[in-house]
Amino acid sequence: MANHAETTTSGETQFQLLEHQVAGHGGVLRVGEGKVVAKPLIQREQQFYEASAQCAKFKAFIPGYYGTLQQQDGVAGDGSSSTADSSYICLENLTDGYEKPCILDVKIGTRIHDIDASPEKVAKMLGKAQETTTGSLGVRICGMSVQGTTGQARDWFAKLTVETIRDAFAMYFSAAESMVSAEYRRFVIRQFILEVEELAAVIRSVETRMYASSLLFVYDASRARYEQFVSGAPRDNKSDCNDNEYDEDSEEDEGRDGLLDVKAIDFAHSHWVPGQGCDELYLFGLEKLVEILRGLLVEEPAASGE
């Protein structure tokens, strides 16, 4: 696989449709053994990933970027046909290594139209923002996959309101309690709060605009892997997960255990904008998200949503 902005061709590389995609336009492929995913190339998104490589503190909050790839054989690994010579950007697979991944895609920010959107597109996107929690909270759940539940159709998430979105977040964390423990549920929520707050601090210090971008949350609802983590047994080094369950003041990154991760994704409408200050609309969404997550720590867990 190529590094940075290099391009490689597919050759004998095997492709399969990504099993755990919960939102977006589809077409994301799992490459080889699954440590990398190939997403249909959008030039603006590629440019944003490449520019982000120059900012280490921001780069830590986005998936690893491995350049571009051209699929020349015209056939995906599952046997379905695809367009010959399709171009992709290659990214870190954030679910790789998880036994029972629970995934949540959350759109962040109150603005979802790009800087060069037509007047008609702007009007449409403004209307969509006001019809959903994007306009009021800067937070909109696009989809989720939760172990042990039947799931919900995507249009169900679009109908969430300021009053009901907390229940949807509670549904996402339900597997942490039902499949592991109440303690683990609290641990996961606290870790995500810390991660989002750290991202907010970075956003205040950089000059970006990330319209219609999402945060992708992943945690493992595997009791065996959690017990391995608690016991201190050797673990993989999948993700940043500070062990603040046991030491709230710890600043050491000793918990790289692969139990959870959160990254900013989907940059088809994102830009670096030197001289224009931080993205206040995106930051507003992050702050509201932290409020929601903190609220879950003091509320009784909601039903699983089945």
Residue 153 token pair: 């159709």
pLDDT band for position 271 (cuts 50, 70, 90): very high
Residue 254 burial (C-beta neighbours within 10 Å; 0-12, 13-18, 19+): exposed
Helix H, strand E, coil C: the string for 182-196 is HHHHHHHHHHHHHHH
Spell out the residues 6+ positions from residue 54 whose beta carbon is closer than 8 angstroms to its own: none
The pLDDT, as a whole number, for residue 247 is 42
What ranges make up the beta strands (E) of 224-273? 260-265, 270-272
The pLDDT, as a whole number, for residue 258 is 83
CA triple 130-135-136, angle to 5 deg? 115
Spell out the residues 6+ positions from residue 12 whose beta carbon is closer than 8 angstroms to its own: none
The pLDDT, as a whole number, for residue 154 is 77
> The CATH number of 101-298 is which of 3.50.50.60, 3.90.550.10, 3.30.470.160, 3.40.50.1010?
3.30.470.160
pLDDT band for position 255 (cuts 50, 70, 90): very low
- In this predicted structure, the answer to whether residue 60 has a pLDDT above a threshold of 50 is yes
The pLDDT, as a whole number, for residue 230 is 87
**Per-residue pLDDT tens over the stretch 187-245:** 999 999 999 999 999 999 999 999 999 999 999 999 999 998 888 765 544 433 333 33
Residue 127 token pair: 């209307």
The pLDDT, as a whole number, for residue 149 is 81
pLDDT band for position 173 (cuts 50, 70, 90): very high
- In this predicted structure, the answer to whether residue 2 has a pLDDT above a threshold of 60 is no
Residue of 288, 134, 119, 158 whose CA lies nearest to 211: 134
* Strand-pair partners of 75: 81
- In this predicted structure, the answer to whether residue 11 has a pLDDT above a threshold of 60 is no
Share of the chain above pLDDT 70, in %: 75
Helix (H, G, I), strand (E, B) or coil at 136: helix
Share of the chain above pLDDT 90, in %: 65
Place of tokens 């039903």: 303
pLDDT band for position 43 (cuts 50, 70, 90): very high
CA triple 101-42-57, angle to 5 deg? 60
Whether 61 contacts 286, CB under 8 Å: no
The pLDDT, as a whole number, for residue 88 is 92
The pLDDT, as a whole number, for residue 61 is 98
CA triple 166-170-173, angle to 5 deg? 145
